[in-house]
Amino acid sequence: MKNLKQRLMQISEELRQLAEGIEVTAEPAQQEPVPEITLEEVRGVLADISRAGFTADVKKLIVKYGAERLSDVDPNNYSALLNDAKELMNA
C-alpha cells in the first residue's frame, strides 16, 4: 500500500510537470483583426440607401440602435447597423 501511494504521488507530480510544460510552450491562438468600420463608411452606405428611396427605413435603423442621429450611434453597433441596412436593399 505504501508503494502504491508513493507511485501515485510520483505520477501526480509527473502529470503536473507535463501540464506546466504544455502551458508554457503553447502559443496563443492568433485572431485575425476585425476591420474597424468608420462613421464615414456607415454614412456613405446609409446615404446610398436613403437616395434609393429608403429614407424612412434608414431613420428607423438609426433609432433601433438607440440614437436620433447617425453620429450618436455607438461605434460598436456599426457592423450590425450595416448588416441591417444591406438587408433593406435585398428585401
User: Distance between CA atoms of 53 and 63, rounded to whole angstroms?
Assistant: 18
Report the first-to-last Cα separation within the chain, whole angstroms: 75
Question: Between the CA atoms of 40, 42, 43 and 49, what dihedral angle is there, to the nearest 10 degrees?
Answer: 150
What does pTM read for this prediction? Answer: 0.61
Q: Which of 8, 77, 85 is nearest to 39 (CA)?
A: 77
User: Distance between CA atoms of 83 and 79, rounded to whole angstroms?
Assistant: 6
**Contact call for residues 45 and 85 (beta carbons, < 8 A):** yes
Domain map (residue ranges) of the chain: 2-28+37-90
User: Distance between CA atoms of 21 and 8, rounded to whole angstroms?
Assistant: 20
Q: Render pLDDT for 10-59 as a digit per residue (tens, 0 to 9).
A: 887 888 887 777 655 556 667 777 678 999 999 999 999 999 999 999 99
Identify the residue with better confidence: 9 or 34: 9
